[in-house]
Amino acid sequence: MVTGASRGMGYAIAAELSSAGAKIIANFHPDFREGAEELVNSINDSGREAVALPGDISRYEDCERLVDAAIGAFGAVDILVNNAGINRDRMLHRLEVEDWQAVLDTDLSGAFYLIKLFTPHFKDRNYGRIVNIASMIGQTGNIGQANYAAAKAGLIALTKTAALELARNNITVNAVCPGFVATPMVAALSDKVKEAVLEKIPLGRLGKPEEIANLVRFIVSEGDWITGQQFNPNGGQYM
């Protein structure tokens, strides 16, 4: 299951895992149904299998329904990619409490809810691969992104703790911490901000969603002895 699979990195990750042979459960926020249906139709038209499941992962009740539906769709779930995330950027003194909470609810609590709910299923099968899509911003901080940085830093810490707790059940938990990738979230930045970002990337370009997807595919298919780690695809911006 890939959360936030209707666009950007989530779409690319789901497509890549499908091409590698996985059956895909594409979770999407109800506001972004079109992209998820496009993804699922493309996968099914190619002869592979996918279903789209709506759900707002910031709500525990939605996550409960989502996990039950995901397991019911194919009988079992092997891989969970916590990709869904939002940003509401403002300087600290202008950041509304509601915007702080909304980002933490989606970017951090949503991942916790799904890990918690899937863990009994993974333990019963003595197998699970969890990848949390964090961010370089959770490692460095960033002006105007206190809520996003805090959520992604928390997601990295959650990754490490979950990795320690679940290793005995052959469940690996890793974090991918991308730098600036060409996604709708980055596309919304002003041209001035984009120029400033590019100046700080030694490789001189934004990442591609497909590059993040390739890394996730490697972790879940070939990373059997890798857990609790942070992978840093960021073009050299943070070393």
Helices (H), 46-129: 60-74, 97-104, 110-125
d(Cα 147, Cα 89) in Å, to the nearest integer?
A: 8
SS3 69: helix
Out of 11, 113, 127, 148, which one is annotated catalytic?
148
d(Cα 50, Cα 39) in Å, to the nearest integer?
A: 9
> Of 183, 162, 177, 181, which Cα lies nearest the Cα of 227?
162
Beta bridge partners of 81: 2, 131
CA-to-CA dists, residue 132 to 32, 144, 161, 205, angstroms:
21, 23, 13, 24
Q: What angle do CA 8, 14, 17 make, to 5 degrees?
A: 135
d(Cα 3, Cα 130) in Å, to the nearest integer?
A: 12
Report the first-to-last Cα separation within the chain, whole angstroms.
30
CA-to-CA dists, residue 216 to 32, 63, 131, angstroms:
23, 22, 7
- Confirm whether 148 is a catalytic residue: yes
Active site residues: 148
